[in-house]
Amino acid sequence: MDVNLIFKYFTKLTEVQRSHFEDLNALYQDWNKKINVVSRKDIDELYLRHVLHSLGIAKIQQFNEGSQILDVGTGGGFPGIPLAILYPEVQFTLVDAIGKKIKVVQEVIDGLGLKNVSAHHSRVEDLNGQFDFIVSRAVAAMPTFVHWTKGKIKKDSTHERKNGILYLKGGDLAEELKDYKTAQIFNLKEHFSEVFFETKKVVYLPQKYKVPG
From the annotation, which residues make up the binding site for S-adenosyl-L-methionine?
73, 78, 124-125, 137
Please report how close the Cβ of residue 47 comes to ligand SAM at its closest, in angstroms.
14
Q: How far is CA 147 from CA 110, 133, 144, 151, 194, in A?
A: 32, 15, 5, 9, 34
How far apart, in whole angstroms, are the C-alpha atoms of residue 130 and residue 160?
18
Residues in contact with ligand SAM by the rule CB under 6 A: 72-76, 78, 95-98, 101, 123-125, 137-139, 148
Half-sphere exposure of 52 (CA within 13 A, CB side): 26
Are 153 and 131 a contacting pair, CB within 8 Å? yes
> Which residues make up each annotated binding site?
73, 78, 124-125, 137
CB-wise, 123 or 162, nearer to ligand SAM? 123
Contacts with 152 (C-beta within 8 Å, 6 or more apart), sequence order: 70, 124, 127, 129, 130, 131, 134
- Nearer to ligand SAM among residue 110 and residue 125 (C-beta): 125
Q: Which is nearer to ligand SAM, 66 or 143 (CB)?
A: 143
How far, CA to CA in Å, does 189 sit from each of 26, 34, 42, 194?
A: 28, 34, 20, 8
* Contact status, residue 58 vs residue 83, Cβ threshold 8 Å: yes
Rounded to the nearest whole angstrom, what is the least distance from the CB of residue 138 to ligand SAM in the complex? Answer: 4
Minimum CB distance to ligand SAM smaller for 25 or for 157: 25
Q: Which is nearer to ligand SAM, 45 or 96 (CB)?
A: 96
The CB-of-95 to ligand SAM minimum distance in angstroms stands at 5
Q: How far is the CB of 76 from ligand SAM (least distance, A)?
A: 6
CB of 164 to ligand SAM, least distance (A): 18
